[in-house]
């Protein structure tokens, strides 16, 4: 039954509805690799019970709107950064897009995720991917990250100890800033920087002031949970300070598009928490606007 359902779910390009289907589809019970989209495979993952594993098995992807946006923004020879790479789903998509002539720089501090990430990159023969076992923040420091119960492999920084009853495991991780990393490992131009750090996004952005000032990063894809009507927000205002234009990612059942901040999403009553920030008049902005106009 599970294999029959998988044949159906893999066939259709579900951009919307995965969360609902993921709740009602049978749990994954398998040992071995999972076939993904783009002729990629997931060789190593946290657990059969993890939501990332389940979505990868049934849909061949976890965040289709992120994967599709990465493919639209990246091309052969580009450099991409993946902050919060987890087990490598978006890093592998980026690697396919930039090809062997490009480069994907990953950051994943959690040991079990890092091991799976390295294994998946190696076995998919993606030599253009560089993996760093370190976290990014607003300064060099050690932080505590906690694993939510029943969500294997997904860690986050918890600001208040009052909420720790929802978490099962603590991990101490070393953090640096993106600016410091790039000082030690220079990259002239970065096409896309994807950030998914479970609520620590503002700190990560604050650790790349020099990169923002120099406009060495052309575009960002990041997660930020906020109502679609809200345009004034500390994170948005911070990016505007460096003259970035921001769009919310919107998706229908089979397609992904973008809307300007404050504009009601066309397809979703419950919009995605994903955004794209671009340098004005850049190739990335022209790319995003071309999709809006379609």
- pLDDT tens by residue, 164-213: 556 666 778 899 999 999 999 999 899 999 999 988 999 999 999 999 99
Q: Quick one: pLDDT at residue 27?
A: 85
Reduce the DSSP state of residue 20 to 3 states and report it.
helix
The pLDDT value recorded for residue 272 is: 75
Q: Which residues of the chain have pLDDT under 50?
A: none
The whole-number pLDDT of residue 152 equals 58
Note the pLDDT of residue 153. 57
Q: Give the per-residue pLDDT at 28.
A: 84
Q: What is the pLDDT of residue 149?
A: 61
Residue 292: predicted pLDDT: 92
pLDDT at residue number 264: 76
Residue 267 backbone phi and psi in degrees, to 5? -100, -25
The two three-digit tokens of residue 45, written as one number: 């993952």
pLDDT confidence of residue 80 = 99
Q: pLDDT value at position 229?
A: 65
Specify the CATH number for 64-292; select among 3.40.640.10, 3.40.50.150, 1.10.3720.10, 3.30.420.130.
Answer: 3.40.50.150
Q: Cα separation of 280 and 98, whole Å?
A: 23
Residue 102 CA to residue 100 CA, distance in Å, equals: 5
> Sheet harboring 217-223: ordered strands across?
129-132, 103-107, 79-83, 190-195, 217-223, 274-278, 245-251, 256-260
* Domain ranges for the chain: 2-59, 64-292
Across the chain, mean pLDDT equals 89
pLDDT for the residue numbered 164? 56
Q: What pLDDT is recorded for position 158?
A: 62
Question: What integer pLDDT is reported at residue 30 of this predicted model?
Answer: 74
CA pair distance 63, 7, nearest whole angstrom: 19
Say what the pLDDT of residue 136 is: 97
Contact assessment for residue 114 and residue 133, using Cβ atoms and an 8 Å cutoff: yes
What's the pLDDT tens digit per position in 120-135?
999 999 999 999 999 9
């Amino acid at each position: 039954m599970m294999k029959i359902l998988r044949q159906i779910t893999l066939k259709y390009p579900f951009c919307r509805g995965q969360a609902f289907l993921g709740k009602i589809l049978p749990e994954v019970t398998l040992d071995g690799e999972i076939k993904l989209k783009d002729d990629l495979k997931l060789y190593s993952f946290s657990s059969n019970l993890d939501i990332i594993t389940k979505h990868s098995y049934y849909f061949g992807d976890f965040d289709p709107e992120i994967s599709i946006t990465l493919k639209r923004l990246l091309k052969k020879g580009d450099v991409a950064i993946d902050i919060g790479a987890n087990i490598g789903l978006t890093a592998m998509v980026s690697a396919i897009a930039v090809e062997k002539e490009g480069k994907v720089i990953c950051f994943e501090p959690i040991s079990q995720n890092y091991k799976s990430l390295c294994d998946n990159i190696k076995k998919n023969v993606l030599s253009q991917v560089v993996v760093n076992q370190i976290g990014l923040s607003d300064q060099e420091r050690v932080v505590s990250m906690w694993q939510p119960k029943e969500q294997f492999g997904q860690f986050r920084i918890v600001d208040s100890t009052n909420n720790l009853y929802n978490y099962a495991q603590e991990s101490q991780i070393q953090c640096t800033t993106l600016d410091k990393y790039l000082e030690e490992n220079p990259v002239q131009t970065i096409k896309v920087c994807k950030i998914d750090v479970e609520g620590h996004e503002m700190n990560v952005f604050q650790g790349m002031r020099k990169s923002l000032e120099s406009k060495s990063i052309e575009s960002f894809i990041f997660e930020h949970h906020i109502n679609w009507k809200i345009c004034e927000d500390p994170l948005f205002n911070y990016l505007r300070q460096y003259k970035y234009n921001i769009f919310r990612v919107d998706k229908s059942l089979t397609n992904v598009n973008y809307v300007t901040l404050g504009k009601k999403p066309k397809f979703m009553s419950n919009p995605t928490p994903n955004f794209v920030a671009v340098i004005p008049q850049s190739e990335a902005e022209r790319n995003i606007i071309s999709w809006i106009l379609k």
